[in-house]
Amino acid sequence: MRYYGPPCGRLVRTHMTLEGPFGCMTTPAQGNRIPPRAPWAADNGRFGKGWPGHDAYVRWLARLQPIADRCAFVLAPDIPFDMPGTLEFSSPYLALIRGMGFPVALALQNGAEVMALPWDEFDVAFIAGDDGWKRGPAGYEAIGQAAGRGKPVHMGRVNGAGMLAYAIGTGCSSADGTTFTYGPDTNAGDMLRWLGELERTGAQGVLL
């Protein structure tokens, strides 16, 4: 499991730069520099107020192209908590992001369970949606569908040991959250401990 977050604090950056379990999550509005040699992924700023608009978004991605070889995925712009809206909004971005040399992720969220998804048009399944959807039967099924098709599965908004256990226990290969933003060295230490403990015990998170 790799955990992505903002590059806040010495301990966080150390474990991003080394062959550690952390990666850098960046967004159009973040403004942080991705640490050297760090694996990274890109969210889109649609959850909240960080979406800059189409033209600025494409310019931002263009600035990241020189380090595309370290990119795990770029999340296509979505409509939070709305899978029908997400498919309509994301559709033109899937080929655009791939065409710029990045693996592209699609946000799977509330409503995905009753829709035909364009599995061949994206590389990574990003489990979004509200916590009830993610931890309910529909989210669990979405994770299984993606894994069964050989897609890496990433879970968003993972900020505690319980959700981390669920993500690992259901087979997600990565997760992200804002836990490093507040008390980064303390929270990075907690995250390192949780990851170690959960991976040693097999992380039976689906039972939590």
Domain assignments of the chain as residue spans, ordered by start: 2-207
- pLDDT, residue 207, reads 40
Q: Which residues contact 144 (CB under 8 A, 6 or more apart)?
A: 170, 171
Under a CB-based contact definition with an 8 Å cutoff, are residues 103 and 76 in contact? Answer: no
- pLDDT, residue 150, reads 96
How far is the C-alpha of 164 from the C-alpha of 156, rounded, in Å? Answer: 10
How far is the C-alpha of 160 from the C-alpha of 158, rounded, in Å? Answer: 6
Write out the CATH class of domain 2-207: alpha beta
- pLDDT, residue 205, reads 44
Prediction pTM value: 0.94
pLDDT digit string (tens) for the chain, length 208 residues: 999 999 999 999 999 987 889 999 999 998 778 999 999 999 999 998 899 999 999 999 999 999 999 999 999 999 999 999 999 999 999 999 999 999 999 999 999 999 999 999 999 999 999 999 999 999 999 999 999 999 999 999 999 999 999 999 999 999 999 999 988 999 999 999 999 999 888 665 444 3
Q: Give backbone dihedrals phi and psi of 20, rounded to 5 degrees, phi first.
A: -100, -175
| CA 47, 32, 39, 24 torsion-angle sign | negative
